[in-house]
């Protein structure tokens, strides 16, 4: 999501030091001239991590980065300057068309590719997931337990953008985004600041492995749409895929899909229980399970006007290491929203008795069993859209 208009005000209390902090960080329009980005690296910084961070972005978007030397520093241009500093920080969105945008790299991030990517895309205008206008549909924010000094800071850092300020391009909230904070952010004491509405998503929030598929798709959609006008990508990608510059005849696909237009499911490995991967829910109910070492992907649908109630009876996959985050392709994932771009609910370790209702008439199940005792079992039930009472009850229990 990219902010497009200045924030006029917010309802956060002021404490002198953090007065209008949110306005300061959001007052600049993110009108970068793309796709060529010039950048300069200060002495004392290693180019290796910076180059890798940029290379990964270039491989999945139209953005291209070009290193300049110090002789070009006095030339008016937009771009990025990586500064050897004591902290890791940048300002959200472009602030000048004639001066390089500063990205400070301290010892905690100078060699950390995901941290550098976070700062780069922040400079490009990518906001944190928890401040999206629609975040209340996905998480709750706990601002209690802070003293007055920190309460204003917390409020500024967690207050939402207005719908007029940002554009999500139809890409839904992503718990697996590199731009999602961990649950106990600011506190770091085990007490949650952010709570997912479906609590098992808490295990996914705050991953630091790299930009997610939806992060890349958002960058590409925002900055690379001009390529369509130049004759590239004159076709549609299916199942939330996107066209990538440099591969004009092929789409980038979210996990679970492949094919030139993302029209196919990733092929199952030997041993999956169902020979058919596209399954129409037969009748009102279906029991579904897999176990053992195998990779199985299924797309399950009901007719238009219906949704699917999912009751996960049991999941047993490889557990997480301390402070680890569950992510796609790690064990069990179920995509239950209309947009396949964001990660679905990923479950690592042992889980049981999880119930929710799909947003639309399709769900995707991705099982990646790595051990003989891995497995899952669930019940699927057809729910009519008109049955508002059933849907309301299930949502309240999520």
pLDDT digits (tens, 9 = 90+) for 44-88: 998 999 999 999 999 999 999 999 999 999 899 999 999 999 999
- Token pair of 304, please? 């238009």
Per-range mean pLDDT, top range of 8-17, 227-236, 339-348: 339-348
- Whether residue 35 is preceded by a cis peptide bond, meaning omega within 30 degrees of 0, is yes
- Angle among Cα 346, 349, 350 to the nearest 5 degrees reads 105
pLDDT reported for residue 244: 85
Question: Does 16 fall in a domain?
Answer: no
HEC string of 319-332? CCCCCCCCCCCCCE
CATH code of 249's domain: 2.10.25.10
Half-sphere exposure at residue 324, Cβ-oriented, CA atoms within 13 angstroms? 12
Tens digit of pLDDT for each residue in 161-214? 888 888 999 999 999 999 999 999 888 677 899 999 999 999 999 999 999 999
Do 327 and 260 share a domain, yes or no? no
Among the candidates 124, 139, 172, a domain finishes at 124
Q: Nearest Cα to 322, choosing from 190, 201, 130?
A: 190
- Region 122-145: mean pLDDT is 93
User: What is the C-alpha separation between 6 and 24, in angstroms, rounded?
Assistant: 9
Q: Which domain holds residue 232?
A: 213-265
Backbone region of residue 132 per phi and psi (left: phi > 0; alpha: psi in -120 to 50; beta: other values): beta
Q: 287 and 370, same structural domain?
A: yes
pLDDT for 23 beyond 70: no
β partners of residue 291: 375
| Residue 365 included in any domain | yes
In a domain, 182, yes or no: no
Burial label for 58, CB within 10 Å (0-12, 13-18, 19+), is middle
Regarding whether 59 and 117 lie in a shared domain, the answer is yes
Distance in angstroms (rounded) separating the CA atoms of residues 53 and 40: 14
Same domain, 304 and 252: no
CA–CA separation, 142 vs 163, rounded Å? 22
Cα 200-333-361 angle, rounded to 5 deg: 100
Residues 121, 270: Cα–Cα separation, whole Å: 40
118 secondary structure, DSSP code:
H
Element (H, E) at 21: helix 21-26
What are the pLDDT digits (tens) for 219-255? 999 888 877 777 778 888 999 999 987 776 789 999 9
- Residue ending a domain, among 99, 124, 149, is 124
Q: What is the pLDDT of residue 187?
A: 82
Is residue 192 included in any domain, yes or no? Answer: no
Q: Is 17 helix (H, G, I), strand (E, B) or coil?
A: coil
What is the C-alpha to C-alpha distance for residues 12 and 159, in angstroms, rounded to an integer? 8
Distance CA 209, CA 2 (A): 22
Least confident piece of the model among 26-30, 205-209, 278-282, 320-324: 26-30
Most confident region among 32-41, 147-156, 265-274, 380-389 by mean pLDDT: 265-274
Is position 354 within any domain? yes
Give a yes or no: residue 175 inside a domain: no
332 pLDDT higher than 80: yes
pLDDT: is 9 or 139 the higher one?
A: 139
The C-alpha atoms of residue 47 and residue 49 are separated, in whole angstroms, by 6
What is the spatial distance between Cα 139 and Cα 130, in angstroms, rounded to a whole number? 8
Those residues whose C-beta lies under 8 Å from the C-beta of residue 87, and which sit 6 or more positions away, are 104, 106
* Domains held by the chain: number: 3
Take residue 338 and report the two structure tokens written for it.
């209309």
Asked whether residue 314 falls in the same domain as residue 366, the answer is: yes
Domain identity same for 284 and 375: yes
Considering 103, 124, 145, which residue would you say is the last residue of a domain? 124
Q: What is the CATH number of the domain that holds 70?
A: 3.40.390.10
Closest CA to 354 of 330, 332, 369, 370: 332
* 8 Å CB contact between 25 and 208: no
Q: Which residue has the higher pLDDT, 9 or 340?
A: 340
The answer on 259 and 327 residing in a single domain is no
Summarize pLDDT for 269-299 with one digit per residue, the tens.
999 999 899 999 988 899 999 999 999 999 9
* 238 shares a domain with 282: no
* Domain CATH number, residue 359: 2.60.120.290
Tell me the pLDDT tens digit for each residue of 82-133.
999 999 999 988 888 899 999 999 999 999 999 999 999 999 999 999 999 9
- Do 113 and 70 fall into the same domain? yes
This prediction's pTM: 0.91
Strand ranges, E, within 7-100: 36-41, 64-67, 79-84, 89-90
- Asked whether residue 251 falls in the same domain as residue 282, the answer is no
Identify the residue with better confidence: 256 or 159.
256
Q: Is 210 buried (19+), middle (13-18) or exposed (0-12) by CB count in 10 A?
A: middle
Rounded to a whole number, what is the distance in angstroms from the first to the last CA of the chain?
A: 26
Are both 375 and 326 inside the same structural domain?
yes
Residue 263 pLDDT greater than 70, yes or no: yes
What pLDDT, on the 0 to 100 scale, is given for residue 25?
40
Same domain, 287 and 253: no
- Checking DSSP bridges between strand 101-105 and strand 79-84, what pairing results, if any? parallel
In a domain, 311, yes or no: yes
Question: Whole-number mean pLDDT of the chain?
Answer: 88
Distances 366 to 138, 197, 216, 282, 311 between C-alpha atoms, Å: 22, 22, 21, 20, 16
The answer to whether residue 329 sits within a structural domain is: yes
């Amino acid at each position: 999501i990219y902010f497009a208009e200045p924030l006029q005000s917010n309802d956060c209390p002021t404490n002198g030091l953090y007065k209008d902090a949110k306005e300061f960080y959001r007052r600049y329009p993110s009108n970068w001239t793309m796709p060529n980005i010039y950048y300069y690296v200060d002495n004392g910084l290693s180019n290796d991590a910076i180059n890798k961070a940029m290379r990964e972005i270039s491989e999945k978007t139209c953005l291209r980065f070009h290193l300049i030397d110090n002789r070009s520093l006095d030339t008016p241009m937009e771009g990025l300057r990586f500064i050897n500093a004591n902290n890791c920080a940048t300002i959200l969105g472009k602030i000048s068309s004639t001066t390089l945008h500063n990205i400070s790299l301290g010892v905690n991030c100078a060699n950390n590719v995901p941290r550098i990517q976070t700062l780069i895309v922040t400079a490009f205008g990518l906001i944190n997931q928890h401040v999206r206008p629609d975040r209340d549909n996905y998480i709750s924010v706990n601002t209690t337990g802070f003293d007055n000094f920190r309460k204003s800071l917390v409020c500024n850092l967690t207050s939402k953008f207005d719908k007029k300020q940002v554009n999500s391009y139809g890409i839904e909230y992503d718990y697996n985004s590199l731009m999602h904070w961990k649950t106990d952010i600011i506190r770091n004491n085990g007490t949650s600041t952010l709570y997912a509405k479906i609590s098992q998503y808490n295990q996914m929030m705050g991953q630091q492995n790299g930009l997610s598929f939806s992060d890349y798709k958002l960058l590409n959609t925002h900055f690379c749409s001009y390529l369509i006008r130049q004759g590239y990508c004159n076709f549609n990608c299916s199942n939330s895929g996107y066209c990538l510059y440099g591969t004009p005849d092929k789409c980038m696909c979210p996990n679970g899909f492949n094919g030139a237009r993302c029209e196919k499911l990733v092929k199952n490995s030997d041993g999956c229980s169902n020979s058919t991967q596209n399954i129409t829910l037969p009748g009102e109910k279906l029991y579904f399970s897999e176990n053992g070492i195998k990779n199985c992907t299924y797309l399950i649908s009901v007719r238009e006007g219906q949704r699917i109630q999912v009751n996960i009876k049991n999941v047993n996959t490889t557990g997480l290491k301390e402070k680890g985050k569950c992510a796609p392709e790690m064990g069990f994932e179920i995509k239950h929203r209309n947009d396949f771009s964001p990660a679905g609910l990923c479950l690592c370790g042992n889980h049981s008795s999880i119930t929710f209702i799909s947003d639309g008439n399709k769900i995707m199940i991705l099982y990646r069993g790595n051990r003989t005792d891995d497995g899952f079992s669930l019940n699927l039930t057809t729910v009519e859209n008109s049955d508002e009472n059933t849907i309301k009850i299930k949502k309240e229990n999520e």
